[in-house]
C-alpha cells in the first residue's frame, strides 16, 4: 500500500516506511523530527517542471504526463519503491508542499499505480 503524507505532519506507526520524494529538504524541519527512512531526491520532478507547474490545478494532467516522461529514465528508482512496498507492506511518500491534493507525491503514486498495477 502506498500512502501520501505531508512531511510536516506527525509521523505515525501506520506510515510504514517513510520516503521523502522532494528534491529539497523541507524548510525548517529537523531530520530527527521528520523520521524519514529514505530521501529519494532524484525521483522528484526537475526544478524546471516544478516551477512550470507551480501548483496550477489547470496544469495537473499535463504535469503528470511530463513528470512520467522524466521518470522514464529512472526505472531503477521506481522499482526500488515497489520493492520497499513489498518488504514493508506500507510505504508513505512524503512531500513538503502546502498543496495537499495535487502535488508531486500524489502524481508519483498515480504514475507507479499506472505502471505496476
- Residue 94 has a pLDDT of 98
- Each residue's pLDDT tens digit, 88-105: 999 999 999 999 999 999
Query: What gap in Å lies between CA 7 and CA 41, rounded to an integer?
Result: 14
Look at residue 35 in the predicted model and tell me its pLDDT: 94
How far apart are alpha carbons 12 and 18 in whole angstroms? 10
Pairing status of strand 17-20 against strand 38-39: parallel
Residues 6 or more apart in contact with residue 39 via CB below 8 angstroms: 19, 20, 25
Give the number of residues written for the chain: 117
Q: Where are the domains of the chain?
A: 2-116
Residue 60 in this model has a pLDDT that exceeds 80: yes
pTM: 0.94
What does the alpha-carbon distance between residue 116 and residue 79 come to, in Å, rounded to a whole number?
A: 9
What cell numbers appear for 57 in the block? 490545478
Amino acid at each position: 500500500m502506498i500512502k501520501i503524507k505531508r512531511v510536516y505532519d506527525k509521523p505515525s506507526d501506520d506510515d510504514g516506511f517513510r520516503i521523502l520524494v522532494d528534491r529539497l529538504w523541507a524548510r525548517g524541519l529537523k531530520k530527527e523530527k521528520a523520521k524519514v527512512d529514505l530521501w529519494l531526491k532524484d525521483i522528484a520532478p526537475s526544478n524546471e517542471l516544478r516551477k512550470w507547474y507551480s501548483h496550477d490545478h489547470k496544469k495537473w494532467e499535463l504535469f503528470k504526463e511530463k513528470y512520467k516522461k522524466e521518470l522514464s529514465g529512472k526505472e531503477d528508482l521506481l522499482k526500488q519503491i515497489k520493492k520497499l512496498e513489498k518488504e514493508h507492506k506500507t510505504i508513505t511518500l512524503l512531500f513538503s508542499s502546502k498543496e495537499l491534493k495535487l502535488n508531486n507525491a500524489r502524481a508519483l503514486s498515480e504514475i507507479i499505480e499506472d505502471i505496476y498495477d
